[in-house]
Amino acid sequence: MAYVIGIDIGGTFTDAFAADESGRVAATKTPSTPPDFSQGFLTVLDEMAGALGISTRALLSDTNYIIHGTTSTLNALVTGDVAAVGFLTTRGHADSVAIMNLEGRYAGLGSDRVQDMVLTNKPAPLVPPQLIRELDERIDYKGHEVVSLDETGARVAIRELVDAGAQAIAVSLLWSFLNDSHERRLGELITEEAPGLYVALSCDVSPRIREYARSATTIMNTQVGPRLRDYLRPLEAELRERGFGGSLLVMQGSGGCVDSSDAPSRAITTIGSVLTGGVVGCTRLAESLGHRNVISTDMGGTTFLAGLVVDGAPVSTTSTVLNQYQLNVPMVDVHTLGAGGGAIAWVDAGHNLRVGPRSAGARPGPACYGDGGTEPTVSDVDLLLGIINPGNFLGGRKKLSKELAAQAVRTHIAEPLGLSVDDAAAAVYAIQNAQTADLVRKVVVTSGHDPRDFVLYAFGGAGPMHCASYAADLEVGEVVVPLGSTAAVFSAYGLAASDIVLTAELSAPANFPTPVADFNSSFAHLRAELEDRLADQKLKFAHVAYRNEADMRYTLQLAEVATPVPAETVDESGLADIATGFGELYERLYGKGSGFAEAGLQLITYRTQAVGMLPIRPQLGEIPSGRGDPTPSSTRRVFLDARRGWQDADIHDYRDLAAGHELKGPAVVEAPTTTVALPEGCIGRVDRLGNLVIRYTQV
């Protein structure tokens, strides 16, 4: 039996989901193992095999591919545990990355910090001056060679960088996206002078206009490429030793995966690897449930993640900010808040109660784990409020201590604020729900949409405990909690349900409409590049689809809007339709009447995405229907709503529920890997796929 496995490594837990061709599925969850996350990867495979009733070797020998969402690259960049990079650029431009287009003081910061200049500063430089070398060469803005590459000087510069301690070299020359001949030759020279050294060229990593972002993207790619390579190689070798004969695939921020042998060369594309699985899972589940617009909310142990599915497709962005550096990385637009179950509650110097962004992580974890954590977390509060059953956490595999949770809340929150432990826990619960609702509202509204036009999906180990509360704040009419086999490993399900996704770009700024022949030729060039890369994946695809888009703007504006373009060749009328589509997108983003067609249009960057559908896609089977009202397994006192205080709630074991069963709040549903809280005024109905669909009778 051929399996596909998705493994999602988070800061607190490592999740796995497996499915075979017959529709059999299984899922498991185990604590992550920092700093060596590969141990958690291997452990969760052992537990998965146990859940399926077979040996790990038997599971791996029958697995076609494993799709891995890894924190390797993101963690390396955030912590600074990266390779020492040497940087080669055009003479006179050594400081281009340090200047940062004047964005460095505020890029990626919240409005509270941007408005206080005392709190803003540029980040640490990506490359120290001693590891930067300028070269004599020049390509002009038309792609013509003005000054030939000084190869003798280049060889000297390469040797100097290696002698100075460079563990990898990044190359970004002026206008290389129009003419890459000098960069290609430099790549050859580096290989000759320093065989085996990791090399990244901007014409491969980011062939897009704007020198600063292109160089920063290439440098960061070079910083993490060796780390990703050194993480994946021994992991794959261990999998082969254990009997794995399939393909190890790595998730990218774009919402699709890539073969592990290809991932290190474009390592920067994996920085959103662990963020996008949930959005992909929402897209697949929405196809089955008939939902076109979905808000994806994933609350795990460390973070709260929010993304959108609009008209059946994940909302994406063409760039991102990391450590205040602007990066050219197409990825699913996922917003992050440090407000997971392990988020630490604390009192600041002004005597204000805060929740997050610091997290207790997997080690030591929340205080209630009894593993050495002493600070109160959201999970500690959920336990004290009666939402979590201390004897049923992770299906009973982890016993929790209410006494340790109470001690942490009393010491760090209740006593400093003069509150009872119950009131302090209720305050943390309210703040957690309010700040997650604020993030989701921002994500939806700034994308030009109304939350009331969406269905909200809530998953992750902690998400279902809070979703009914933050969804009510958003006035969302329906919440879907994926239960059954996906439950708290929904992101891992999304990984297993993903496809190979490759992206190619080409910047060629010109007034629009461009000549039809040039327009079609540019996209044909990108498609040919992607066809070669698809062949390099060494996989059989059930189907391959191509999606085109163009970054366009009104003349002389700085920001572009990614505008859909037909995948086939277009004529003059097709170009006119693209211009109309741009205008509609622009006004949806910036407001009706904000467009100014009289200014004229410019096309800046061509982009093509290839989607190779893998032959095995997990299918979630239907569950049996039930009759009558479900019988609670017990009752207990819970606190789910500040307006109603403590209440007696029915407790339901998810395994006793069937399709069609309805539950009225206040109630709690306990699944093996998560818990769902239903405040008074909510009705939960189990659908045909085993999801709990929550609607409001009153708010």
The confidence score (pLDDT) of residue 461 equals: 80
- Bond preceding residue 35 cis, omega within 30 of 0: yes
The confidence score (pLDDT) of residue 487 equals: 65
Q: Indicate the pTM of the whole model.
A: 0.86
Cα angle 492, 690, 381 (rounded to 5 degrees) comes to 65
* Residue 73 predicted with pLDDT over 90: no
Residue 542 CB neighbour total at 10 angstroms: 11
Of 8-22, 43-57, 469-483, 639-653, least confident by mean pLDDT is 8-22
Share of the chain above pLDDT 70, in %: 97
Per-chain mean pLDDT for the chain: 91
- Counting DSSP H helices and E strands in the chain, the numbers are 18, 35
Q: Which amino acid makes up residue 67?
A: I
The confidence score (pLDDT) of residue 1 equals: 59
The confidence score (pLDDT) of residue 347 equals: 94
* Residue 211 predicted with pLDDT over 70: yes
Q: What is the mean pLDDT of residues 530-546?
A: 92
The confidence score (pLDDT) of residue 110 equals: 66
* Residue 667 predicted with pLDDT over 90: yes
Q: What is the mean pLDDT of residues 405-431?
A: 95
* Residue 618 predicted with pLDDT over 90: no
The confidence score (pLDDT) of residue 568 equals: 86
The confidence score (pLDDT) of residue 273 equals: 81
The Cα 35–Cα 32 span in angstroms is: 9
pLDDT by residue (tens digit) across 107-139? 777 666 777 777 778 888 999 999 999 999 999
The confidence score (pLDDT) of residue 699 equals: 55
The Cα 682–Cα 699 span in angstroms is: 8
Query: At what angle are helices 211-241 and 37-52 packed, to 10 degrees?
Result: 50
**Phi, psi angles (nearest 5°) of residue 635:** -135, 155
Helix (H, G, I), strand (E, B) or coil at 263: helix
* Residue 75 predicted with pLDDT over 80: no
**Phi, psi angles (nearest 5°) of residue 70:** -115, 145
Query: At what angle are helices 421-446 and 463-474 packed, to 10 degrees?
Result: 60
Which residue(s) pair with 359 in the sheet? 343
* Residue 561 predicted with pLDDT over 60: yes
Q: What is the mean pLDDT of residues 416-431?
A: 95
Q: What is the mean pLDDT of residues 313-325?
A: 87
The confidence score (pLDDT) of residue 634 equals: 92
The confidence score (pLDDT) of residue 341 equals: 85
* Residue 695 predicted with pLDDT over 90: yes
Domains and CATH numbers, the chain: 1-289 (no CATH), 343-431 (no CATH), 500-613 (3.30.1490), 622-699 (no CATH)
Q: What is the mean pLDDT of residues 381-390?
A: 94
The confidence score (pLDDT) of residue 499 equals: 92
pLDDT by residue (tens digit) across 433-475? 999 999 899 889 888 889 999 999 998 888 899 999 999 999 9
